[in-house]
């Protein structure tokens, strides 16, 4: 398709709506320009964010070219409102994916436009393009609706209380509304029962109640409550209602550097990211979400007969293991960044760190949620025994390097966490375990890290054996309690990270000019999650005033809705897939710890 990047909205000019089965992005111009249906990882039906309107878009906006536009979430919900303010009229569009009665209900996109004051012409254009805009989609009028059909793809239907017509395989409408008048548009599966008259108002009411009831269970009462709640609502939106799995992000193909080729698909569940999310949910008192994830996880570590299976680093939400990468050359990419990819070949990589994140989550859920079962403990023992056998191997590390394998510090660190949390869990629950062998391994890993990853000449820890570079993942060392946050060697490492990887509060994962180890050309932006880890490290090191300033700065880098993507560019604009779960859970952790330090609390929530 042709390059229409000038017509694309910036990554941070979007809000997200969802029903915990799928999600859609709505830009501040009132267009849904990204929507995969009916599942999070299904082919897209709207994909103009990665190309042009010809890749699918749902436009709904007033004819107010000089209006100021703004977006807000209705308080304590994931229901989005876009508003136009001009001298002549005020108009608002409310967008949501209603929460259905059943987890098997197909997602429905509900859009309501209302004129608050004045009189204005409203224009609507809904162009569904199935299968990532690869399948020719035909639109045909059907009673008071338009049906969208493509060979081999699920049919969809758009209904409205306004007259619809078909132009160029798109549904269009143009009408005038006066003050207090409104119009509704519903897009979903053919013959969805919610299309009936009067159902939209009930859907909105139920959806508002669902989100408000859920966030009302949060136990967070500290500073930055609005940002913490927005992060929690975002994490919940990225959680599968049916399976309990947690997505890394809602999108695919958004670039980590403008015009670059680091364009990945994050609509899957990474064991690492999801396990960190469990930590965030538990901190806020959302135990059921953590329990649901662990139930999903049990299906990944053993088959239906209880036999152990190889643990992958990522899965589809429904548990599929193979996610081969496919390039979509017909899409021009966001800002011309190609190739646009779906699938993620990282599923077949070796990343030893996932065992630590997994066992940390198991330990936390056992401590604050459901106690581990007999079968669960048997599988845990098998995982830890595997760590004892493999911790000295090379791997590709936390950042999924596509170059050579190395002995990465973070992988060693998380292997230590895996064994440490298993020993702690067994001790607390009086569970049978080979304590002597596990303790011997834990000590061996501890010694290995201090002996082989500390560079005396540089005066800091290094990313991998044989290297001299730094890595943002080192910021997790005090957070997982491997090293004291005030240990002199850690403080010198933190200072080195500040000099090398930190810029205006934004932390880079690593510097390509230090080490070309990721196997990819070009550079990337600063990593948002690392930036929040940095704040927490400062606070734990006693540099509370500095941490407070850096945290306030990072909050300003959110988009107007309080959302974050994966990375920041040099101007703190968003890069990469969005919204990113890892960023939001790191924000929750940093806010929770920093708030307690500023409040002088001594009884911290302990993992």
Question: Considering the domain boundaries, does residue 197 fall inside one?
Answer: no
What's residue 5's pLDDT? Answer: 38
- Concatenate the DSSP letters of all residues of 75-137 into one string: TTSS-EEEEEE-SS-EEEEEEE-PPPSSTTSPP-EEEEEEEEESEEEEEEEEE--HHHHTS--
pLDDT in the model for residue 522: 66
Q: What pLDDT is attached to residue 367?
A: 85
Looking at the structure, do residues 168 and 65 belong to the same domain, yes or no? yes
Q: Are strands 341-342 and 326-327 parallel, antiparallel or unpaired?
A: antiparallel
Query: What confidence tier does 130 reach under pLDDT thresholds 50, 70, 90?
Result: very high
pLDDT digits (tens, 9 = 90+) for 136-191: 999 999 878 999 999 999 999 999 999 999 999 999 999 999 999 999 999 999 97
Where residue 603 falls among pLDDT bands split at 50, 70, 90?
low
Residue with the two structure tokens 């409550």: 225
Question: Is 532 among the domain residues?
Answer: yes
Query: Distances from the Cα of 502 to the Cαs of 373, 525, 530, 584, in angstroms?
Result: 43, 12, 10, 19
Return the residue matching tokens 């249906």.
37
pLDDT at position 401, please? 80
pLDDT confidence of 514, banded at 50, 70, 90?
very low
Q: Please give the C-alpha separations between residue 403 and each of 1, 450, 518, in angstroms, as whole numbers.
A: 31, 26, 5
> Which of 98-102, 307-311, 469-473 is least confident?
307-311
Segment 436-447 shows an average pLDDT of: 98
Closest to 158 in 3D by CA, of 125, 135, 204: 125
Same domain, 269 and 183: no
Give the whole-number percent of the chain exceeding pLDDT 70: 95
**pLDDT score for 483:** 98
In contact, 544 and 597? CB cutoff 8 Å: yes
The rounded distance, in Å, linking the Cα atoms of 498 and 357 is 25
* 230 shares its domain with 338: yes
Q: What's the Cα-to-Cα distance from 276 to each of 229, 293, 355, 408, rounded to whole Å?
A: 17, 11, 12, 20
**Which domain-ending residue is among 169, 190, 211?**
190
The residues pairing with 169 across neighbouring beta strands, listed in sequence order, are none
Is residue 604 pLDDT above 60, yes or no?
Answer: no
Question: Is the distance from CB of 410 to CB of 398 less than 8 angstroms?
Answer: yes
Domain termination residue (choose one: 173, 190, 207): 190
Q: Which range, of 27-36, 346-355, 529-538, averages the lowest pLDDT?
A: 346-355
**In a domain? residue 430:** yes
Is the domain of 161 the same as that of 236? no
- Residue 385 preceded by cis peptide, ω within 30: no
Residue 252 structure tokens:
């695919």
3 — pLDDT class (breaks 50, 70, 90):
very low
* In a shared domain, residues 116 and 65: yes
Confidence of residue 521 (pLDDT cuts 50, 70, 90): low
Question: How does residue 132 score in pLDDT terms, banded at 50, 70 and 90?
Answer: very high
Instruction: Work out the mean pLDDT of the chain and round it to a whole number.
Output: 93
Q: Is residue 330 scored above 70 in pLDDT?
A: yes
554: domain CATH number is: 1.50.10.10
Residue 329: what pLDDT? 98
Q: Which of 602, 603, 567, 582 is nearest to 256 (CA)?
A: 567
Q: Is residue 590 part of a domain?
A: yes
pLDDT digits (tens, 9 = 90+) for 185-243: 999 999 787 777 678 889 999 999 999 999 999 999 999 999 999 999 999 999 999 99
- The verdict on 183 and 99 lying in the same domain is yes
Residue 239 domain-assigned?
yes
pLDDT by residue (tens digit) across 389-433?
999 999 999 988 877 899 999 999 999 999 999 999 999 999 999
Q: What is the mean pLDDT of residues 345-354?
A: 90
Are residues 243 and 174 located together in one domain of the fold? no
pLDDT score recorded for residue 1:
39
Measure the CA–CA gap between 465 and 448, rounded to whole angstroms: 10
Do 286 and 236 have their domain in common? yes
Mean pLDDT of 317-338: 96
CATH code assigned at 84:
2.70.98.50
Q: Measured between alpha carbons, how far is residue 90 from residues 32, 65, 67, 119, 470 in Å? A: 20, 12, 9, 9, 52
Same domain? 94 vs 232? no
Q: How far apart are the first and last CA of the chain?
A: 50
149 preceded by a cis bond (ω within 30 of 0): no
Has residue 206 been placed in a domain?
Answer: no
- CB 271, CB 353: distance < 8 Å: no
pLDDT at 439 over 90: yes
Q: Which residues pair with 308 in a beta bridge?
A: 302
DSSP annotation of 377: H
Extract long-range pairs of 169-173: CB within 8 Å, 24+ residues apart.
169/127, 169/137, 169/138, 169/139, 170/125, 170/126, 170/127, 170/139, 171/124, 171/125, 171/126, 171/127, 171/139, 171/146, 172/123, 172/124, 172/125, 172/126, 173/122, 173/123, 173/124
User: pLDDT value at position 370?
Assistant: 85
CB 290 within 8 A of CB 372: no
pTM above 0.85, yes or no: yes
Q: Is 343 strand, coil or helix?
A: coil
Q: Do the beta carbons of residue 397 and residue 408 sit within 8 Å? A: yes
* Residue 381 within a domain: yes
User: What range does the domain containing 579 cover?
Assistant: 224-599
Which range among 248-252, 289-293, 298-302, 413-417 shows the weakest confidence by mean pLDDT? 298-302
For residue 131, how many other CB atoms are within 10 A of its CB? 17
430: left (phi over 0), alpha (psi -120 to 50) or beta: left
Last residue of a domain, one of 190, 213, 233: 190
pLDDT on residue 4 = 41
The values of phi and psi at residue 288, to 5°, are: -65, -40
230 & 149 share domain: no
Structure confidence at residue 519 as a pLDDT band (50, 70, 90): low
Q: Taking residues 558-562, what's their average pLDDT?
A: 98
> Residue 227 is encoded by which pair of tokens?
């940002």
User: Is 148 a member of any domain?
Assistant: yes
Backbone angles phi, psi at 532, to 5 degrees: -75, -35
- Total number of domains constituting the chain: 2
Quick one: which of 47, 48, 3, 40 has its CA closest to 19? 40
> Is the domain of 395 the same as that of 282?
yes
Residues 93 and 45 in one domain: yes
Place of tokens 């958004």: 254
Cα within 13 Å of Cα(552), Cβ side:
6
pLDDT per residue over 238-269, tens digit each? Answer: 999 999 999 999 999 999 999 999 999 999 99
């Amino acid at each position: 398709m042709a390059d229409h990047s000038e017509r694309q909205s910036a990554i941070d000019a979007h809000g997200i709506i969802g029903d915990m089965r799928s999600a859609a992005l709505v830009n501040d111009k009132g267009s849904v320009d990204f929507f995969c249906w009916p599942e999070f990882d299904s082919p897209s039906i709207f994909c103009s964010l990665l190309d042009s309107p010809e890749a699918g878009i749902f436009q709904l906006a007033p004819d107010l070219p000089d209006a100021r536009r703004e977006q807000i979430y209705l308080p304590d919900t994931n229901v989005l409102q876009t508003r136009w303010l001009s001298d002549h009229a005020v108009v608002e569009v409310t967008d949501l994916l209603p929460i259905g009665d059943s987890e098997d209900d197909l997602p429905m996109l509900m859009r309501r436009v209302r004129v608050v004051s004045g009189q204005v012409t409203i224009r609507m254009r809904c162009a569904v393009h199935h299968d990532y805009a690869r399948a020719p989609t035909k639109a045909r009028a059907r009673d008071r609706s338009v049906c969208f059909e493509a060979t081999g793809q699920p049919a969809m239907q758009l209904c409205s209380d306004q007259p619809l017509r078909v132009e160029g395989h798109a549904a269009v409408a143009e009408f005038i509304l006066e003050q207090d008048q409104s119009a509704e548009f519903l897009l979903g599966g053919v013959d969805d029962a919610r299309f009936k008259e009067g159902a939209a108002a009930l859907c909105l009411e139920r959806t508002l109640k669902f989100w408000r009831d859920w966030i009302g269970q949060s136990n967070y009462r500290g500073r930055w409550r609005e940002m913490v709640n927005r992060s929690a609502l975002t994490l919940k939106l990225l959680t599968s209602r049916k399976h309990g799995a947690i997505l890394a992000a809602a999108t695919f193909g958004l670039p980590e550097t403008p015009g670059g080729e680091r364009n990945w698909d994050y609509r899957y569940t990474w064991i690492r990211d999801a396990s960190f999310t469990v930590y965030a949910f538990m901190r806020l008192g959302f135990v059921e979400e953590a329990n649901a994830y662990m139930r999903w996880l049990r299906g990944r570590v053993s088959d239906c007969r209880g036999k152990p299976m190889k643990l992958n680093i990522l899965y589809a939400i429904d548990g599929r293991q193979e996610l081969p990468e496919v390039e979509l050359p017909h899409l021009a990419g966001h800002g011309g960044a190609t190739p646009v990819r779906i699938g993620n070949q990282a599923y077949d990589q070796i990343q030893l760190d996932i065992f630590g994140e997994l066992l940390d989550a198991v330990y936390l859920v056992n401590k604050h949620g459901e106690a581990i079962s007999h079968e669960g403990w048997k599988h845990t023992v098998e995982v830890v025994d595997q760590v004892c056998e493999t911790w000295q191997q090379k791997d590709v590390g936390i950042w999924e390097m596509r170059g050579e394998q190395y002995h990465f510090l973070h992988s060693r660190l998380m292997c230590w966490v895996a064994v440490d949390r298993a020993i702690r869990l067994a001790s607390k629950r009086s569970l049978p375990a080979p304590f002597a062998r596990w303790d011997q391994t834990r000590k061996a890993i501890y010694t290995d890290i201090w002996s082989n990853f500390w560079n005396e000449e540089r005066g800091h820890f290094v990313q991998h054996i044989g290297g001299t570079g730094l890595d943002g993942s080192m910021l997790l060392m005090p957070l997982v309690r491997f090293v004291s946050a005030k240990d002199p060697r850690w403080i010198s490492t933190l200072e080195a990270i500040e000099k090398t990887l930190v810029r205006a509060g934004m932390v880079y994962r690593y510097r390509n000019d230090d080490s070309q180890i990721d196997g990819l050309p070009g550079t990337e932006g600063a990593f948002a999650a690392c930036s929040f880890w940095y704040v927490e490290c400062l606070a734990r090191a006693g540099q509370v005033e500095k941490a407070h300033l850096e945290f306030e700065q990072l909050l300003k880098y959110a988009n107007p809705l309080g959302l974050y993507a994966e990375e920041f560019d040099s101007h703190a604009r968003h890069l990469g897939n969005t919204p990113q779960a890892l960023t939001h859970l790191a924000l929750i952790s940093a806010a929770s710890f920093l708030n307690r330090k500023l409040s002088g609390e001594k009884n911290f929530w302990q993992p």
